[in-house]
Amino acid sequence: QIWRSTNTPSGEKSVAHARTYVERLNSILSEEARGPAPHPCVAYAASSQVFVTVTKLALSFHDEGVIRSATVFFNTLIDAEVDGVVDNRLFARALVDLVRRAEKTSDEIEGRLVELLFGIANNIRLQPAILPAWFVPRVTPVAQDSDSQAPSGTEFAGATRKDEFPLFYLLVDYVHHEGRAGDFARTGLLYLIETASRSKNLEKWLIESDLATLMATGLGALYSQLGQ
């Protein structure tokens, strides 16, 4: 509310204030998390959709400190296991926007952001029921014989449908990266693929998607960096 009601122009002072606000929020939540349940502050942060404001702060101020604090906040909510967080489509959109649009000014920031994606992938693996918050496949009519429609002499490359499962495509973007970001991305993708064995919709989507093409390209780039 302080940030929303403040008309201070952008600048170093505003960045410092934004960083302070999120750090204070993190301090409250982490202190509460160390105690026994229930955790009313964490529950309120989820129900009042504070995560939307935190994403806006991180994207409004191109500051590494604000982004770092935002990743701590999102990790706290992911680990809190309270209702209305990882199964919330608005939370999913806020987290995806943060990872997609935040400036990766260092390997550390990049690793922190991809770690958020990994945390969600792990939650989906453990609780497949939350998948609909992150994966929204289009309902398409029954297609005719695909073989008769495919141009002769071309190979099936898969359909690119980033708007249906942005979490998946963001992880693919970091498959070929070194360090923490690459490790988190590769493991997160394995978790999502494992989940497909318990979700017919996801299994079908993976088969029809451009997963094979993207993975071949990404891993090819990774292997090309290896020494002879």
142-162 pLDDT tens trace: 444 444 344 444 343 455 678
pTM (predicted TM-score): 0.83
**Per-residue pLDDT tens digits for 58-76:** 998 889 999 999 999 999 9
pLDDT of residue 33: 86
CA distance 100 to 69: 17
**Per-residue pLDDT tens digits for 26-36:** 999 999 988 88
Tell me the mean pLDDT in the region 103-115: 95
Q: How would you class 208 by CB atoms within 10 Å of its CB: exposed for 0-12, middle for 13-18, buried for 19 or more?
A: middle
Nearest CA to 94 out of 42, 39, 134, 41 is that of 134
User: DSSP class of residue 222?
Assistant: H
pLDDT of residue 15: 85
36 preceded by cis ω (within 30°)?
no
Nearest CA to 218 out of 172, 185, 184, 187 is that of 172
Tell me the mean pLDDT in the region 42-69: 92
- Residue 192 above 80 pLDDT? yes
